[in-house]
A and B are shown apart, each in its own frame.
Chain A
Amino acid sequence: MGSLVFDVAHLLAGGLVLLSLVMLYQDRLPALIRMFALQAVVLTLSVSWQAYAQGAPHLYVTAAIALAFKAIIIPIALQRIVVRLGLHREVETALSIGPTMVAGIALVALSMVVMLRVTAEADPLAREDLAFALSVVLLGLLMMVTRRNAVSQVVGFMSLENGLILAAAGAKGMPLVVEISVAFSVLVAFIVIGIFLFRIRERFDTVDSAALDRFREGQR
């Protein structure tokens, strides 16, 4: 493998991190969902590239799942929910955009520092990939933590999961990657269905998960 393999992988992974940061910056749900779909596409490319580079055809399955499920089905479903629940207005963020971005940059830096401690004996490709994947995971978590809205939390979770898939695909020869991606898809589907099925908006008047907690009866 020449440096081209490395550079392309690097570029795609970097793109994922960038898109994560962009998603953090979005304050409207529809735009957020679109950015997420874009991230899923980049993930598809990245995984496909790994499949090609590692000569692991089963990774194409993962790529296909990512494309079909995350780039197409889920965004459409979420878009519908947003429309149905009348959420296509501003995203309610718990933390304003500025500090969120600063925190995001700090997290990326942190993941780099942590990964740099790993000895270079490890595959450099894997090492860089992991650093980016860790960034994506942390940024996804950050999004879940800073958004009040259930839909944007789901998006945050899926973005986190993108980081995982990136890491799994980057780990050369790792078994069960496909199974894991399937499992995660099931998980995400559960979440989306959950929002759909229990009509959280109808029952709690808002998808704001803080409201769920306010609901509890005389526990206090």
Chain B
Amino acid sequence: MAVVVELWCVAALLALAVLAVPLSRAHAGSPIVYGGALVLSLIGLGNAVAALAAPAGTLALPLGLPGTGAHFRLDGLSAVFLAIVHLCGASASLYAIGYGRHADAPGRVLPFFPAFLAAMSLVLLADDAYSFLFAWESMSLASWALVIADHRAAENRRAAYVYLVMASFGTFLLMLAFGLLAGTAGIYDFVGLRAHPPAALVGGVVLGLALLGAGSKAGLVPLHAWLPLAHPAAPSHVSALMSAGMTKVAVYGFLRIVFDLMGPPQWWWGIPVLAAGAASAALGVLYALMQSDIKRALAYSTIENIGIVFVGLGLALAFTANALPAAGALALTAALFHALNHALFKSLLFFGAGAVLGATGVRDMERMGGLIHGMPVTAFAMLIACAAISALPPLNGFVSEWLIFQAILISPELPAWGLKLLVPAAGALLALAAALAAACFVRLYGISFLGRPRGPQAAAAREVDRWQLGAMLALAGLCVLAGVLPGLVIDAMAPAVAALTGARMPPQAGVAWLSIIPVAESRSSYNGLLVLVFVAGSAALVAAAIHRFASRAVRRAPAWDCGFPNAGLRTQYTASSFAQPIRRVFGATVFSAREQIHMPPPGDLSPARFRLRLVDPAWDGLYLPLARAVWALSGRMNALQYLSIRRYLALVFGALVLLLLVLALWG
């Protein structure tokens, strides 16, 4: 049975984690551990893909919560996410065989990497509340250990701390949600919970808790502020795994609770989900545009993509609640598809960032440039990833966004007014996010890979090893494949979608020319394969024609200097100057950007200084005030620990008198 195979994979990964402790001292330890993780992830991947259309398999073990036991279940939804996670795991392992060789302290990474993979799989397999939260929190713990792997840098410690607290916050909220679902009877297994859906009001609260709990893990605005700290702090293959894999597990958690355990949705459930998703999509990418640290920019872009996924989920909820199951299936498929796509290209992007980091030693884009010369293959793979995440046809990112737009276009059929007004606004934000994402990745790619090197490290960068290139090229290939053959993916996800929404998209397998048709052919259709063929064909055609009939001569010359000779490297656009127009459009309102330019008076030869201050409003408006409040409160309370013995006795005395008074007045 598939679920047994998956559990054996988990067990083997855990064994590998234990084994990694002694292995990390050995020279060959790193390839062995990553190689093992690669093989296990591939086995799991194959198993999950095979389980996509299979009936759900369950298994109960006498572990975990007494009385309930540990229940595991592998159904369509789990299989979709297992496939995504294993895909991320396999590619990260492959990449790390090369990348992990240069780790300073392998002992702090090797044991936790397989454990992290195992915990993620376990979340997806869990079929009772305790196992689910146990695995969920273990996942946080393992990834926390990876975030703090480079523990000597103070900012990493801070990132890890914020991350762990936020992870725990999310877990506690989910615990509350499960508590509400479990009710006084204390039903913890999902089978029982499914049989007892909560009352309407309780359901609303559970939805809120699940949205906050799973959303904080996924990085929804405004709880996202930990994510851009934590994801980049880890080693790059782990960053990829966190951004691409773990956020999907969070999405799965939301799906499992809200779509599966809570019975039929209420009409308004889509509203908060849609609003949070749209806000995350737009704000996430705007933040990403402002970052000059390449990994931070990627982390913020994760927030954007999670926002897109949640918009899809919100639409699916709204449709399903309002008796439009087919539309719900379309929205849910779009969300799942986007989750897959994001896993693919975000892994690839982090791998690329890791390769750059390994080759140059810098994460700051302002010190990169011209890497396309030294690292052509990496640059090629990154180009595909950047195009894919910018939702450009014929790559995969476009397909899922297109499907979500198609779902939005069905929404006038929704009866409720709130949704009617919200959905187009969400659509506009989504379109804005897509366009800004393109801007963001033009900037990211253009500044770091194109132009001239902005520093000696960038100039000396050399291509990375074969393992890393292999992982990157494989993912790039998958990005293209998912883009040109989306019908396969949609059909593969159909069983999972059907189980949650009660409907499915029209089968795509029989459509001529491998097109995809979300609703009906007269309404809309798209064919990635033909777009690719047409674009490639016409480009080839015109190239051939020009080379044949016109000129093919090439001459190298200095760049045109507009009459200003000796244009130094500093005259290039920088990451922050590239973002300046957009910063001026959105910055003042969204993150109170402040630019200070210190221009020396004429005749003064001192350099002009430019300083930019950006504030993440979630950090300044939510995290910091809370932290300050806790600190101030603890300061107040702390005074109570320095009283005299007499005062302590007075406390005891006071408590006694109070209780006696209660007895006297009550009794």
**Complex: A in contact with B (CB within 8 Å):** yes
Q: Which of B646, B650, B652 has the most CB of A within 10 A?
A: B646
Cβ-based interface call for B667 (8 A): yes
Cβ-based interface call for B645 (8 A): yes
Cβ-based interface call for A110 (8 A): yes
Q: How many residues of A contact B (CB 8 A)?
A: 22
With beta carbons under 8 angstroms apart, the residue of A111, A210, A219, A220 that contacts B644 is A210
Question: A187: which B residues are within 8 A, CB to CB?
Answer: none
Q: Please provide the chain A residues from 77 to 120 with a CB less than 8 Å away from any CB of chain B in the complex.
A: 94, 107, 110-111, 113-114, 117
Cβ-based interface call for B642 (8 A): yes
**Given known A113-B664, A114-B663, contact A142–B646 (CB-CB < 8 A):** no
Question: A141: which B residues are within 8 A, CB to CB?
Answer: 649, 652-653, 656
Cβ-based interface call for A23 (8 A): no
Cβ-based interface call for A213 (8 A): yes
With beta carbons under 8 angstroms apart, the residue of A107, A113, A212, A216 that contacts B645 is A212
Q: Separation in Å of the B652 CB from the closest CB of chain A?
A: 8
CA distance A216 to B642 in the complex (A): 9
Cβ-based interface call for B536 (8 A): no
The reply to whether B646 and A117 contact each other, CB–CB distance below 8 Å, is no
Cβ-based interface call for B643 (8 A): yes
The reply to whether B646 and A147 contact each other, CB–CB distance below 8 Å, is yes
Proximity bits, B377-396, A CB within 8 Å = 1, else 0: 00000000000000000000
Q: Please provide the chain A residues from 197 to 220 with a CB less than 8 Å away from any CB of chain B in the complex.
A: 209-210, 212-213, 216, 219-220
Question: B644: which A residues are within 8 A, CB to CB?
Answer: 148, 209-210, 212-213
Question: A113: which B residues are within 8 A, CB to CB?
Answer: 664
With beta carbons under 8 angstroms apart, the residue of B642, B649, B667 that contacts A219 is B642
CA distance A110 to B642 in the complex (A): 31
CA distance A110 to B664 in the complex (A): 8
Identify the closest chain A residue to B639 (Cβ).
Answer: A220
Cβ-based interface call for A31 (8 A): no
Cβ-based interface call for A144 (8 A): yes
Cβ-based interface call for B474 (8 A): no
Q: Which of A144, A147, A148 has the most CB of B within 10 A?
A: A144
CA distance A110 to B657 in the complex (A): 9
The reply to whether B657 and A210 contact each other, CB–CB distance below 8 Å, is no
**Given known A114-B663, A117-B664, contact A153–B646 (CB-CB < 8 A):** yes
With beta carbons under 8 angstroms apart, the residue of A114, A145, A212 that contacts B649 is A145
Question: B649: which A residues are within 8 A, CB to CB?
Answer: 141, 144-145
The reply to whether B645 and A142 contact each other, CB–CB distance below 8 Å, is no
Cβ-based interface call for B661 (8 A): yes
CA distance A213 to B643 in the complex (A): 7
CA distance A219 to B638 in the complex (A): 10
DSSP class of A's interface residues: helix, strand, loop or mixed? helix
CA distance A138 to B664 in the complex (A): 15
CA distance A107 to B661 in the complex (A): 10
Identify the closest chain B residue to A115 (Cβ).
Answer: B664
The reply to whether B660 and A110 contact each other, CB–CB distance below 8 Å, is yes
Q: Separation in Å of the B500 CB from the closest CB of chain A?
A: 56
Question: B667: which A residues are within 8 A, CB to CB?
Answer: 117
**Given known A107-B657, A212-B644, A213-B645, contact A145–B663 (CB-CB < 8 A):** no
CA distance A9 to B117 in the complex (A): 77
Q: Separation in Å of the B656 CB from the closest CB of chain A?
A: 7
Q: Please provide the chain A residues from 162 to 217 with a CB less than 8 Å away from any CB of chain B in the complex.
A: 209-210, 212-213, 216
CA distance A25 to B324 in the complex (A): 83
Identify the closest chain A residue to B654 (Cβ).
Answer: A145
The reply to whether A110 and B646 contact each other, CB–CB distance below 8 Å, is no
Q: Separation in Å of the B134 CB from the closest CB of chain A?
A: 38
Question: B650: which A residues are within 8 A, CB to CB?
Answer: 145
The reply to whether B642 and A145 contact each other, CB–CB distance below 8 Å, is no
The reply to whether A220 and B642 contact each other, CB–CB distance below 8 Å, is yes
**Given known A114-B663, A117-B664, A117-B667, contact A142–B653 (CB-CB < 8 A):** yes
Question: A142: which B residues are within 8 A, CB to CB?
Answer: 653
With beta carbons under 8 angstroms apart, the residue of A110, A145, A148 that contacts B653 is A145
Proximity bits, B259-280, A CB within 8 Å = 1, else 0: 0000000000000000000000
Q: Separation in Å of the B651 CB from the closest CB of chain A?
A: 9
Question: A216: which B residues are within 8 A, CB to CB?
Answer: 642
The reply to whether B664 and A114 contact each other, CB–CB distance below 8 Å, is yes
CA distance A216 to B657 in the complex (A): 30
Q: Which of A138, A145, A220 has the most CB of B within 10 A?
A: A145
Question: A148: which B residues are within 8 A, CB to CB?
Answer: 644, 646
Identify the closest chain A residue to B661 (Cβ).
Answer: A110
Identify the closest chain B residue to A118 (Cβ).
Answer: B667
**Given known A141-B656, A142-B653, A145-B653, contact A210–B646 (CB-CB < 8 A):** yes
The reply to whether A209 and B646 contact each other, CB–CB distance below 8 Å, is yes
Question: B657: which A residues are within 8 A, CB to CB?
Answer: 107, 110, 138
Identify the closest chain B residue to A150 (Cβ).
Answer: B645
CA distance A153 to B656 in the complex (A): 18
CA distance A186 to B410 in the complex (A): 85
The reply to whether B660 and A114 contact each other, CB–CB distance below 8 Å, is yes
Q: Separation in Å of the A143 CB from the closest CB of chain B?
A: 10
Identify the closest chain A residue to B651 (Cβ).
Answer: A145
The reply to whether A213 and B642 contact each other, CB–CB distance below 8 Å, is yes
Question: A153: which B residues are within 8 A, CB to CB?
Answer: 645-646
Question: B656: which A residues are within 8 A, CB to CB?
Answer: 138, 141
Q: Separation in Å of the B185 CB from the closest CB of chain A?
A: 38
Q: Which of A113, A153, A216 has the most CB of B within 10 A?
A: A113
Identify the closest chain A residue to B659 (Cβ).
Answer: A114
CA distance A101 to B665 in the complex (A): 23
For the complex of A and B, 5 pairs with smallest distance between CB atoms: A210-B644, A209-B645, A145-B650, A113-B664, A117-B667
Excluding A144-B646, A148-B644, A209-B644, 17 further A-B contacts by CB distance (< 8 Å) are A107-B657, A110-B661, A111-B660, A114-B660, A117-B663, A138-B656, A141-B649, A141-B653, A141-B656, A144-B653, A147-B646, A210-B646, A212-B644, A212-B645, A213-B644, A216-B642, A220-B642
Subset of 9 A-B contacts with CB under 8 Å: A107-B657, A114-B660, A141-B653, A144-B653, A145-B650, A148-B646, A153-B645, A212-B644, A213-B642
